[in-house]
Amino acid sequence: MLLTMQPFMSIFMADNSPLTENPYPMKKIYLLLGIVLLYTISPQLTQAQCTACSSGFVVDSIVQQVHLSGVLPFNSTVPFNKFDPATGILNCVSTRTTVTTTIEMDLVNRDSTARVIYTMDYNRSTSLSGPGIAVSATTSRSYGPFDLGQAGVDPDTSVHIGPDVLFSNRVLTRTTTSTTAYNGTGTVNFTYFNNGSFLMTTGNDNYKLEVAAVSDVTIRVVYYFCPLMILSSGMRDLNVSRKNKMVDIRWTTDNENMANRYVVEWSRNGRTFIPITEIPAQGRGTKTYSYTHDLNGNAKGKLYYRVKQLDQQNFASYTSIQYVSFSDEGPMDPEVYPNPVVNNINVSFGSPQTGQIVADLVSMSGQTLLSRTYKGSGMTSFQLALNRQYPSGTYWLRVRNGETGEQVVKRVFLAR
């Protein structure tokens, strides 16, 4: 609302003279009416294309994803980049966590006086928590009865249980509109929890139980935001599509004004836009426009488009932003080795990557300790040299393709 109203308020307040002293009183009355109308209508037009958090235009969201796998600690700190307020106004944050956990157990009867029949209940919990986010799931299993032989006498004193899948692509979702903690620079931390407990329901205390759990977890965080621009109510149905190595841009206008002009703009990052061409209004009523952007062989990665409408006073309003992708690369699917790491971290990709690859070494508290950028075409691997003696322990390696926007986080162990 302030973004829409402020320029007109500054015009109004620049004239401090009383109305009776104004030689052109009607102009001031018209200006005041114009301010009131803009104040009343413009925010509604701006909101019209930027309201629901989860159903906005595709480009009005920023997606980050982290993948955890293996034998995980009970609690894992997972960092995500904060939302840059220069990009727009953050409306809400949505998380989607997909969990698969498999357990195997070995139960041994250690009673040397008799055979024992054991049964037990096993409970598994998983959760994700962060600012304004708390979501969890539980599952239970009953195992047994297991008739285990007398220790030191019978050969059948143990039983292997599993593998048993407790969570099979279990999905946990949550959305929050409390966005303060997500704005700014640096990272915001989430805590992922995955643990189990058991209770013997028959048998005795003279047993040994070993439990091993392996998990595969994907945590996806989406920032839904409104761009810092006034959205036009007179333009709609912006559509951009690939046309060989070019981009076809189409949109529709309502209540056309002959004084309007339309500037097609494009961007490689969705924030800094460059004008391509200017098209005059076609006539009154509802009109459909189209333009083909010839990229001159430079079609790669994601390309963002919008249309700016200029009226007779050069007041600008915009369509939503849409994008097309010329990335034919597969997912990064990075493999980190050796792990544990001693001096250098080697990363190999599941499919060749093109563009700017950024690798960050991040502490468990979310602090970026080391950052390196690699550029290339068809890159299949790179090596991150550790330039100092970091303490032994657990760290995160964050790998991001600046061209496709894909980001993967891997856990690494430093052994010094």
Is residue 355 within 8 A of residue 301, CB to CB? The reply is: yes
Whether 205 and 161 map to the same domain: the answer is yes
Ranges 262-266, 297-301, 388-392, most confident? 262-266
Per-residue pLDDT, 268: 80
- The pLDDT of 257-264, averaged and rounded, is 89
pLDDT of residue 38 exceeding 90, the answer is no
Per-residue pLDDT, 231: 60
Per-residue pLDDT, 128: 96
- The reply to whether 236 falls in a domain is yes
Q: How far apart are CA 31 and CA 297, in angstroms?
A: 50
Q: How confident is the model at residue 89 (pLDDT cuts 50, 70, 90)?
A: confident
Radius of gyration of the chain (CA): 30
- The reply to whether 186 falls in a domain is yes
The closest alpha carbon to 252, from 266, 263, 271, 239, belongs to 239
Range of the domain at 297: 229-326
Higher-pLDDT residue of 17, 288: 288
| Mean pLDDT, all residues of the chain | 80
State how beta strands 61-70 and 207-227 pair. antiparallel
Whether 233 and 221 map to the same domain: the answer is no
Tens digits of residue pLDDT in 332-366:
778 888 888 888 899 988 778 878 899 999 887 77
Whether 88 and 220 map to the same domain: the answer is yes
Place of tokens 């600690």: 73
- CATH number of the domain to which 266 belongs: 2.60.40.10
Torsion angle in degrees (nearest 10) through CA of 52, 58, 61, 64: 130
pLDDT of residue 96 exceeding 80, the answer is yes
Tens digits of residue pLDDT in 267-277:
887 778 899 99
Per-residue pLDDT, 22: 41
- Percent pLDDT > 90 in the chain is 40
Whether 280 and 213 map to the same domain: the answer is no
pLDDT of residue 3 exceeding 80, the answer is no
Whether 199 and 257 map to the same domain: the answer is no
- Structural domains in the chain (count): 4
- The pLDDT of 385-414, averaged and rounded, is 82
Per-residue pLDDT, 24: 39
Per-residue pLDDT, 227: 66
Tens digits of residue pLDDT in 204-234:
999 999 999 999 999 999 888 876 666 666 7
Is residue 397 within 8 A of residue 347, CB to CB? The reply is: yes
Whether 71 and 219 map to the same domain: the answer is yes
Per-residue pLDDT, 23: 39
- The reply to whether 189 falls in a domain is yes
- The reply to whether 305 falls in a domain is yes
Whether 82 and 198 map to the same domain: the answer is yes
For residue 249, which amino acid is it? Answer: I
Domain final residue, candidates 226, 247, 276: 226
pLDDT of residue 325 exceeding 70, the answer is yes
- The pLDDT of 319-326, averaged and rounded, is 79
Per-residue pLDDT, 331: 66
Whether 210 and 296 map to the same domain: the answer is no
Whether 264 and 290 map to the same domain: the answer is yes
- The reply to whether 101 falls in a domain is yes
Higher-pLDDT residue of 259, 387: 259
Whether 130 and 6 map to the same domain: the answer is no
**Which range, of 48-57, 143-152, 280-289, 359-368, averages the lowest pLDDT?**
48-57
- The reply to whether 368 falls in a domain is yes
Is residue 238 within 8 A of residue 322, CB to CB? The reply is: yes
- The reply to whether 208 falls in a domain is yes
Whether 260 and 302 map to the same domain: the answer is yes
Per-residue pLDDT, 229: 62
Whether 220 and 258 map to the same domain: the answer is no
Structure tokens at 300: 């790669």
Q: How confident is the model at residue 36 (pLDDT cuts 50, 70, 90)?
A: very low
- The reply to whether 54 falls in a domain is no
Q: How confident is the model at residue 328 (pLDDT cuts 50, 70, 90)?
A: low
Domain final residue, candidates 300, 326, 352: 326
3-state class of 399 per DSSP?
strand
